[in-house]
Amino acid sequence: MHKIAVIGAGKTGRGFIGRLLSEAGRSILFVDRDRALTDRLGAQQRFEVRFFGNKRPAHTIGQYTATDWEHADFSEIQLLFVAVGGANLTDVGARLAPLLNDGKRRYIITCENASHPAKTLADAIGNPDVAVSEATVFCTTIEDGGLDIASENYPYLQCDAKPLDGFDPQLPGVRPIDGFGNFLTRKLFTYNAASCVIAYLGWLKGYEDYGEAANDPEILRLLDRNYSATNAVLCAEFGYDLADQREFAALSKQKFCDRTIADTVTRNAREPQRKLQYGERIIGPALLLEKYHADNSVLCLTAAAALLYNNDSEQAWQAIKSEKTPAQILTDLCGLRPGSPLFEQILANYRRLQSNLHNNKGALL
């Protein structure tokens, strides 16, 4: 089979995308602007991906070549993955444009959790023969000494099927998804919402370590309750298979509860003013649950905890809290109508939690 290019030989590029391609038996061309990195990859000729908690044996990647941009040749490459960080997409597109301007049809999948990465890259390339799709990256990877990578054992890279126009990557770990916009909502309401449940309720209970918060028995019960309700309404709204949605949610829970992945409550709770916006990861799924008359009590509790969230380093959030009452935040930021059921339930939770914290009582019950 033809070699596949991976632009960006960092943690995601070589540790996750490289691993998926290697597991499929494909040969890889790594391209990176860091000449020292590509020289090391070429000299060493192999590296390992080791999995958090030794969930499975380490995977060795050795069927590859590596080069910098000066020596990059894509003449025999049909499929490329780009994993360079959202801020670098325009530069990568400018570098790719002359190298892909030979009339051949090519397919690119961006591996960036950024805003409209496929459009950004496609605009920079400016070539109708180059189809650019985008993917969501769920897999956590960190450098593990030398070229080796420590990684979560996440099995899939989901990408937008529409720009690929029927092209099949023939890679078991790469899943083109129809209705990708709905899939992004599915991710937001499943993964990101669950992360907020853990982060803000974990903060209420005094946790600093994210894995410790995720394994708190009370938070786990609430998390499972929210997963159950959200799984059902996402299937009702978008037609997903319930078993598939349950697997999707279970993968997120497995990730969050893995104590071997170093993370903090503070990092996951940052920018509550963004996460509380209308349609975002707390209010969005809470409204969808309300639409189907399902249990949204966990997200109402989470929203109240986010309103209470206090961190001196969050200057923008601190300014909002000093200028607006919780009710004003719910209307101006969250887009909720005063007197609506969701508005009243969140506000009631806020008052109760605030009283409990003030009186040093159990924060959640």
Domain limits, the chain: 4-178, 181-358
What pLDDT is attached to residue 362?
A: 58
pLDDT tens, residue by residue, 161-205: 999 999 999 999 999 999 998 998 999 999 999 999 999 999 999
Separation between Cα atoms, residue 278 and residue 305, nearest integer Å: 17
- 53 Ramachandran zone, left/alpha/beta (phi>0; psi -120 to 50): left
Separation between Cα atoms, residue 89 and residue 107, nearest integer Å: 16
Phi, psi of 291 (to 5 degrees): -55, -40
What pLDDT is attached to residue 1?
A: 52
Q: Render each residue's pLDDT in the chain as its tens digit; 365 residues.
A: 579 999 999 999 999 999 999 999 999 999 999 999 999 999 999 999 999 888 899 999 999 999 999 999 999 999 999 999 888 999 999 999 999 999 999 999 999 877 789 999 999 999 999 999 999 998 989 888 789 999 989 999 999 999 999 999 999 999 999 999 899 899 999 999 999 999 999 999 999 999 999 999 999 999 999 999 999 999 999 999 999 999 999 999 999 998 888 889 999 999 999 999 999 999 999 999 999 999 999 999 999 999 999 999 999 999 999 999 999 999 999 999 999 999 999 999 999 999 888 776 655 65
What pLDDT is attached to residue 111?
A: 95
Report the C-alpha dihedral over residues 282, 267, 8, 257, rounded to 10 degrees.
-70
CATH 3.40.50.970 fits 4-178, yes or no: no
Report the C-alpha dihedral over residues 340, 346, 351, 355, rounded to 10 degrees.
160
What pLDDT is attached to residue 341?
A: 96
pLDDT tens, residue by residue, 53-71: 888 999 999 999 999 999 9
**CATH ID of 181-358, from 3.40.1360.10, 1.10.10.10, 1.10.1040.10, 1.10.760.10:** 1.10.1040.10
Separation between Cα atoms, residue 20 and residue 22, nearest integer Å: 6
Separation between Cα atoms, residue 119 and residue 24, nearest integer Å: 28
DSSP 63: S
What pLDDT is attached to residue 54?
A: 86
